[in-house]
Structure 1
Amino acid sequence: MKKFIVGWICLWWLAIAVAWAQNGRIEGTVIDRFTRKPLELVNVVVVGLPQGSSTDAEGKFVIEQIPPGIYRLQASFLGYKTVYTAEYRVNHLTPHIQIEMEEDEEMLGEVTVTATPFPRVTESPVSLRVIGLQEIEKVPGANRDISRVVQNYPGVAFSPIGYRNDLIVRGGGPSENSFYLDGIEIPNINHFSTQGASGGPVGLIDADLIRNVRFYSGSFPVSRGNALSSVLDFQLRDGDMEHNSVKATLGASEVALTSNGHLGKKTSYLVSVRQSYLQMLFKILGLPFLPAYTDASFKLKTRFNAYNELTILGLGGIDRMKLNLGLEGEDAEYLLSYLPEINQETFTVGGVYRHYAGRHVQSVTLSHSYLNNRNLKYRDNDDSRPENLTLNLGSVEQETQLRLDNTSTWERWKLDAGIELGYLQYTNHTYQRVYGNSLSVTDYRTALDIIRWGLYASLNYTGVDERFTASLGVRTDGNNYNSRMKELWRQLSPRMSVSYRLADGWYLSGHMGLYYQLPPYTALGFKDADGMYVNRSLKYTSVTQESLGLAWRPNESMELTAEGFYKGYDHMPLSVVDGIPLACKGNDYGVVGNERLVSVAQGRAYGVELMFRWLLRQKLNLASSLTFFKSEFRQSDSGEYLPSAWDNQFIWNASGTYNFPKHWSVGLRVSWIGGSPYTPYDVDKSSLVEAWDAQGRGYYDYTRYNAERLSSYAKLDVRVDKVFYWKKCMLGFYLDLQNITASKLKQADVLMSTGVIENPEAPLSEQRYVMKYLPQESGTLLPTLGITFEY
């Protein structure tokens, strides 16, 4: 640890000895959003600085002598609505910035509009957070992983164990989220993803490509379907049409190389390649599993003219997780007893064609996604004997999607409508030893084709001075899996949002709506021993969402919000074997949903969220959130509600980053989460030799589901950043200390076999292992040194 810190200090002194900070410049263009024509004499200023400029006859502006850093721009013009841009990094290669302004026909004279980093969106006036470049780059403990960045927001739980970044939002499971990249749906955003859910240990998207992220913990837009708990809507940067650049990053788990620039006069590009070194790091640390991954991303954008543009993007990853055999110790022995070897390949490629026709914008989105997941496990990890095989899974998911959308705007009204079509192909070959009441072998092949479709429309109204806003929307989805799912009226999803400014800085907003999600493909394609689809009677899972929020913004840099929410689930897939909903699974490696299910379970999650944000431009970014909630389910409409797997009851996060002179910044984050419930083991069943050998781990006593609860857990993360700017390059260092207090999480003791049979004279079906409990405690200081270089 001392050598690590000393090395980091030496690197800093080496850089500071030759550093020469250069002031940057910002170039850009301002155009009318509808006519696509340049606007002259628009006032453009750097938020938080005295520098500014006005556009010329071609709509171009240049602002000189900007100290390097992360900034927003504000554009104002008589007769137009003031625009507050996303965040941009200003250095030796500041990208060309295009600003679109919308005419305000009721603005008869010049007015003073105060810019704000807390936007109000008519369709989602509650449950929406916009994550900018500053947060993505510098949130302590996140290592620029978006799934970990959003854990700082209300209602989002985090895994105290630390090796997973599953998105657990408002008491919902990790399979209840959807993700979009520049309007293209991405099935998952993590390496080593749990098939049938969406979580994983490491993010798939390179943060260097992201402009900002819209995180919806409710009140989703009608164009974003198939989600029950949250939507992450990523907006990628455009390549620089003026310069070509290369950036290298050495992070916590990988080395990355990104480049952006232009190909000719009409096409820009972004490209990223990352290679992990986790396998080497985990081996040095003596961990029982050795993950390694490679990923690549790209974006091409061609502007044919002012009215037509085409964006093509792709995202893919290759994952390999081997077992670190030969380790000693009971903890390693336990993990090695059940963890499979995992091989995954995933990619999404797609394009968006957009046509600007005055106040009407049409877009066509076409994409294809692919996931190939393979798991292999032998008893005692001994592959020398075929009879030791306990799991051999090979599964492929592919989906092609088409979306047609039109957005029309008339003064105070906005209409968005579209249609979606999708073609899914799912194949699976699974051999698995399972133990219910007796040992059995599952060995099946399946091939499933599904055509799905959706329709949506929303009408938004914005009143004078934006004092009152309202949105009415409806969506419906269907597919040909079974006769019930074909009937669009059964999945009709109405929703409504309203917001009203009570007084200067005070806003009261609310939302209510109904949402549907298709069960995972692993469930739809599951077959029994006779080769029959056993889940043909499944229904769409539904959730009603109701939320009411009050926001107070005393000035342009501060916001305090309070929001109450209620979620009511129906038709949740329930496991026939263990009697718990599928939504309570999915936070471990492997597959979720490949079992017999019935759509009879119900659930509810409700609570209150408080959040305080304070942004002092170029100085302080402070955020604190507190959530009290309950998450429960029951097996049927007449059953008793029980705590779900995600019922932590409270979450508190407080983080802040302060920017010092000379491009230093220091960030702190305190996280505290309530203890999660857990289910005791069924010792009698787990000790059976056939049962233990089938899966290499204990079985839970679901008659006492979540009857026990762990203690709460708190940790402190610290991050220090230093950036050097030269005339033609940039060099940055960061030191991220996760869990600097080395706080320990006491987990439930693990039941484990000793390998000794206590009654070898009995028949095989009655033989039992001598069992033992292993105390489980995790939590250690994790230091990370990151280096970035851009040329």
Structure 2
Amino acid sequence: MKRIIILILNFFLFISANASMNKIGNLAGKIIDHNTQKPIENVMISIDGKPMGYCNKSGKFLIKGISSGSHKITFSRIGYEPRTKVNVVIKPNQTTVQNIEMKPQSVVIEGITVREETFFQESDDAPVSSNTLDIEEIRSQPSGAYDIQRAIQAIPAIVSATDADNEIIVRGGNYGENLFVLDNIELQNPNHFAWPGTGGGPVSMITPEFVKKIDFYAGAFPAKYGDKASSVLDIITRDGNENRFEAKFDVGMAGYGGNIEGPIFPGKGNFIVSYHRSFLSLISDDIGLAAVPNYHSVFAKQVFNFSPYKKLIIDQLWGNDWIEVKHEKKSGYTAAAGGDDVYAHSGQFTVGATYKSIYQNSYSLLTFFRNFNWWKHELYEAGTKTEESKTWSQNTYEAHNKIKFSVIFPETPLGKLESGGYFNFDEFYTDKFMRPDTVFVYAVGTEIIVDTLKDENGNPIIYALDEDNKIKEKIFPKNYGGFIQEEKQFGRITVNAGIRYDYLDYSHESSVAPRVGGKYSISQTSHLSLGAGRQFQNPDYYMFTANESNKNLKPKYTDQIVLGIDKLLAEDIKASVETYYKKYFDVPLNISSTTTDSVDWSSQKINAGKGYAKGIEFFLQKKVKDNFWGT
């Protein structure tokens, strides 16, 4: 196996060496108006300060013969704010795609000088606690491991769960409180070896190579986002290359794979396909690993441009992962004391389509998608794999089927307006088994059994999942809702406000969530921001099925207020300070946690939890310039 791997690596090194002999590449893309989404013509494209050409009337451009390496690309046109992209990598014999949105020049305010260019881009929808990143920044993040979720953990609002997990935990929050959005499609958890109710894992399924930009909201986020209590990670992927077919292979200790992209019809569409799988499974025998993680993932995207104003985007994401952990029988161990063989298998697939229509004074998005996640975990007595030796198992799947529609009016007397609604039809199935067993007491800090836990009569306590040792449930929750939000500028002040309504039929619970924010421009380089909002999150479906009484659980919610100030110290350096207060209400807790009975292990939950988090965050960021950057 070692020889095969060495031959493969040498083959691709040989190809790369020959390809790099021709040290020039191309830059292509399309430029549109950020507000109207319509193409912009005659935008000048400059590379490292040197004008290189203009886009055509369709907003498209293709610049050939660019030296390979990292470049600064600037897009400028009268009437629009210049856009600067740094650390754009041009590769030999390849075409780098850069699709750009340009904002109309803001109203000039007396006493404020407009800067010619800026390296920082901000979200329109939230004036506070928001950050925007692109592929160049993900690539440049030294602690990101080329992983989207790890890359944004440099933001002070985020802490990670463990070094082996990329879970996003925001401002005193919990697992599973971050909303993932991929090209307007909502994902449960885009990671391998995920667990129900969480949002992280050791390996991401999303290839950063295809990311156009990421908008991250750490609190008081826009009204168009819902059903999460803490944060939003909105990922927009780039289109494929419309000019030529290209392929790429990559390999590392985390895995290996490749991608292909190219045109579907000349000038009418493009596609991207990416496949990756684990690498350790190929060399496990050589390096002596007993438990080897195996995983595969596929990401694909197709874009069909029916006209400059009609566009269909289709996304697919598939992942499959499994691991086996086998133990040797040891004296002093029981099945409940860590001596089980573990067989874990899980996966997911998502397919969705968004139809984008651009009108004279507005544009709309119509999205359909299905997201399906499944888990099959089994534990057996060490060295066996029979029904009689099974100690615990879980066979669960969760599916979300959703249709949503939104329409955006960029310019109205009330400012920018956006409104939309959705209908969701879900499925959740679980089949859990646990063999009854004695509750043991262990010596502190060891796995040595010293006693058994006893009831008031002195009898050993036998813990069982249910009367027949299993839980088997299937439910079909439905929910629907809508939102409206507005952005309006009053001189130096920009105000964002919105409200959201959601209803879940399974628990017969509805929620109304207001959001508001504002930004005051002290100067062109300094801003004062304030935001507040309420965010609801429904209980995870496994909570509903754990106990009949849990059907009455209400959604938990957070109220958050954030005050911040930021200062652009230079075109590539920005400093910010934010202080926040976040309060939790109606958090589901095990009812056993509210009693003094030490042997009460009831699976019933009640909305008795509450809490708060507060803090001050300092953030200093330098964008890539002159080969130097950092946070």
For the aligned pair, the TM-score class normalised by the smaller chain equals 0.7 to 0.9
Task: Give the equivalent residue in structure 2 for 1:445.
Answer: 472
* CA pair 38-127 structure 1, distance change in 2 beyond 3 A: closer
Partner SS, residue 535 of structure 1: helix
Distance 1:350 1:543 in 2: 30
Matches within 5 A, 1:340-379: 340-379=342-381
User: 1:346, CA displacement in angstroms?
Assistant: 0.7
Task: Give the equivalent residue in structure 1 for 2:193.
Answer: 192
Give the stretch that moved more between structures: 69-78 or 508-517: 69-78
Matches within 5 A, 1:608-757: 608-623=616-631
User: 1:468, CA displacement in angstroms?
Assistant: 2.1
8 A Cα contact 2:211 2:237, kept in partner: yes
Partner SS, residue 21 of structure 2: coil
Deviations 1:523-563 (A, max 9, x none): 11224xxxxx2301200010011111111112211101111
Matches within 5 A, 1:278-357: 278-280=280-282, 289-326=291-328, 337=339, 340-357=342-359
Partner SS, residue 220 of structure 2: coil
* CA pair 40-232 structure 1, distance change in 2 beyond 3 A: closer
Deviations 1:172-225 (A, max 9, x none): 112111101111001111111011222222111122222222222223222221
**Structure 1 unaligned blocks of 5 or more:** 528-532, 581-592, 624-791
User: 1:141, CA displacement in angstroms?
Assistant: 4.3
* 2:554 is the alignment partner of 1:553: no
Letter paired with 2:608: V
* CA pair 250-60 structure 1, distance change in 2 beyond 3 A: closer
Distance 2:419 2:576 in 1: 31
Distance 1:113 1:158 in 2: 36
* CA pair 546-381 structure 1, distance change in 2 beyond 3 A: farther
* CA pair 378-21 structure 1, distance change in 2 beyond 3 A: same
* CA pair 471-434 structure 1, distance change in 2 beyond 3 A: farther
Distance 1:569 1:497 in 2: 20
Partner SS, residue 534 of structure 1: helix
Taking structure 1 as the reference length, the TM-score comes to 0.68
8 A Cα contact 1:319 1:343, kept in partner: yes
Task: Give the equivalent residue in structure 2 for 1:429.
Answer: 431
Distance 2:39 2:152 in 1: 37
The equivalent position to 2:507 in structure 1, one of 482, 487, 496, is: 482
Deviations 1:659-683 (A, max 9, x none): xxxxxxxxxxxxxxxxxxxxxxxxx
* CA pair 391-301 structure 1, distance change in 2 beyond 3 A: same
User: 1:59, CA displacement in angstroms?
Assistant: 4.9
Deviations 1:594-617 (A, max 9, x none): 942111110211111111111242
Report % sequence identity.
Answer: 24
Letter paired with 1:534: S
Deviations 1:250-292 (A, max 9, x none): 0222111111111112121000111112345566655553221
Give the stretch that moved more between structures: 452-461 or 87-96: 87-96
Letter paired with 1:440: A
Task: Give the equivalent residue in structure 1 for 2:78.
Answer: 78
Distance 2:352 2:610 in 1: 36
Letter paired with 1:172: G
* CA pair 191-31 structure 1, distance change in 2 beyond 3 A: closer
Letter paired with 2:629: N
User: 1:19, CA displacement in angstroms?
Assistant: 4.7
Task: Give the equivalent residue in structure 1 for 2:409.
Answer: 408
Task: Give the equivalent residue in structure 2 for 1:256.
Answer: 257
Letter paired with 2:361: R
Task: Give the equivalent residue in structure 2 for 1:54.
Answer: 54
Deviations 1:352-406 (A, max 9, x none): 001000221111010001112111112445335x443221211111110111100
Task: Give the equivalent residue in structure 1 for 2:615.
Answer: 607
8 A Cα contact 2:161 2:168, kept in partner: no
Distance 1:256 1:462 in 2: 47
Distance 1:117 1:340 in 2: 49
* 2:83 is the alignment partner of 1:68: no
Task: Give the equivalent residue in structure 2 for 1:503.
Answer: 523
Distance 1:520 1:447 in 2: 14
Partner SS, residue 209 of structure 2: helix
* 2:485 is the alignment partner of 1:470: no
The equivalent position to 1:149 in structure 2, one of 144, 151, 165, is: 151
Deviations 1:402-455 (A, max 9, x none): 111000011681101100110011111111146785422431211101110111
8 A Cα contact 1:79 1:107, kept in partner: no
Task: Give the equivalent residue in structure 2 for 1:398.
Answer: 399
**Structure 2 unaligned blocks of 5 or more:** 440-460, 596-600
Partner SS, residue 378 of structure 2: strand
* CA pair 209-503 structure 1, distance change in 2 beyond 3 A: closer
Give the stretch that moved more between structures: 199-208 or 75-84: 75-84
* CA pair 222-330 structure 1, distance change in 2 beyond 3 A: farther
* CA pair 462-64 structure 1, distance change in 2 beyond 3 A: farther
* 2:171 is the alignment partner of 1:170: yes
Give the stretch that moved more between structures: 79-88 or 606-615: 79-88
* 2:539 is the alignment partner of 1:519: yes
Q: How many residues align?
A: 590
Partner SS, residue 153 of structure 2: helix
Partner SS, residue 408 of structure 1: strand
Distance 1:287 1:40 in 2: 57
Letter paired with 1:621: W
Distance 1:275 1:209 in 2: 17
The equivalent position to 2:420 in structure 1, one of 418, 421, 424, is: 418
8 A Cα contact 1:542 1:571, kept in partner: yes
Task: Give the equivalent residue in structure 1 for 2:454.
Answer: none
Distance 2:172 2:72 in 1: 34
User: 1:512, CA displacement in angstroms?
Assistant: 0.4
Task: Give the equivalent residue in structure 1 for 2:549.
Answer: 534
* CA pair 61-264 structure 1, distance change in 2 beyond 3 A: closer
* CA pair 101-204 structure 1, distance change in 2 beyond 3 A: closer
8 A Cα contact 1:38 1:57, kept in partner: yes
Partner SS, residue 292 of structure 2: strand
Partner SS, residue 139 of structure 2: helix
8 A Cα contact 2:221 2:533, kept in partner: no
Give the stretch that moved more between structures: 284-293 or 560-569: 284-293
Task: Give the equivalent residue in structure 1 for 2:598.
Answer: none
Distance 1:463 1:200 in 2: 44
Deviations 1:304-345 (A, max 9, x none): 0011100011101111111144499999x9995367321112
The equivalent position to 1:570 in structure 2, one of 574, 582, 585, is: 585
Q: Which has the higher contact order (CA 8 A, sep 6+)?
A: 1
Give the stretch that moved more between structures: 427-436 or 221-230: 427-436
Letter paired with 2:49: L
Taking structure 2 as the reference length, the TM-score comes to 0.85
Deviations 1:483-503 (A, max 9, x none): 3x1xx3xx1100111111113
8 A Cα contact 2:398 2:428, kept in partner: yes
Give the stretch that moved more between structures: 134-143 or 241-250: 134-143
Deviations 1:16-40 (A, max 9, x none): 7995352334344545567776544
8 A Cα contact 1:523 1:535, kept in partner: yes
Partner SS, residue 122 of structure 2: coil
Distance 2:194 2:357 in 1: 36
8 A Cα contact 2:327 2:382, kept in partner: no
Distance 2:197 2:56 in 1: 54
Distance 2:585 2:119 in 1: 37
Distance 1:18 1:447 in 2: 55
